[in-house]
Amino acid sequence: DGVSFELGPGDVVWLQGPSGVGKSTIAAEVAGLGARRGALEKSLGVSVAVDWAAGVPVAERCGAMFQQTTLVDALSVEGNVRCALAAAAEPGGDALSEAKRLVEAGGLDWARDRRKMPQELSGGMARRAALALQLAQRKRVVVLDEPFTGLDEASARAVAGELRALRERHGAALLLVSHQPSLVALVDAAPTRVVLTPPARLSLI
């Protein structure tokens, strides 16, 4: 049966279900990163349609943060964030000061971490750098696929806190795939839950 939901500023939709049911595939489709048109329907019997509100520019629509970060290996933390700021292309302002603000908003220390390369970052630090990229890109919706997996408890809780700040302070809406309800609760105490059960059936809670 069809399931629909809306994501407005600061909203969280939590996509749940057992491993292998298609959560990551569906999340990637929502983010516009599906392998090819029709592949999801053929493999899982599920079709996904995304209808953006009129007036939302394509460049502002959707970002994605996965277990493997999207940092450019050849650039430092500062370089990655400044590159994202340049792509957002807002005229005026001090790019260096803005990069510093975003790196610190992502939970990193500017003086200590700005020159580090992606391969020098721990898992938690890399996720925080990825958060800074999302802030720099100013996306309306961010798709997050298991953002806490592989992190120690302290790092996972810190990333959850930064995600909460991303939605509360910056108005980003989140589509969140996670098996860790206690951490999801730190992002949003009452998210909309969409549950997938084999064979790829959906229910909206």
For residue 144, the surrounding DSSP H or E stretch is: strand 141-145
pTM for the complete prediction? 0.78
Instruction: Read off the pLDDT band of 204 (50, 70, 90).
Output: low
User: What pLDDT, on a 0 to 100 scale, did the predictor assign at position 111?
Assistant: 96
pLDDT exceeds cutoff 60 at 201: no
User: What pLDDT, on a 0 to 100 scale, did the predictor assign at position 39?
Assistant: 63
User: What pLDDT, on a 0 to 100 scale, did the predictor assign at position 166?
Assistant: 85
For residue 98, give both structure tokens: 């803005």
Q: How far is CA 92 from the centre of its chain?
A: 27
- pLDDT > 70 fraction of the chain, expressed in percent and rounded: 86
Helices (H), the chain: 23-30, 39-44, 77-88, 95-105, 110-113, 123-137, 153-170, 181-187
User: What pLDDT, on a 0 to 100 scale, did the predictor assign at position 77?
Assistant: 95
User: What pLDDT, on a 0 to 100 scale, did the predictor assign at position 35?
Assistant: 60
The length of the chain in residues reads 205
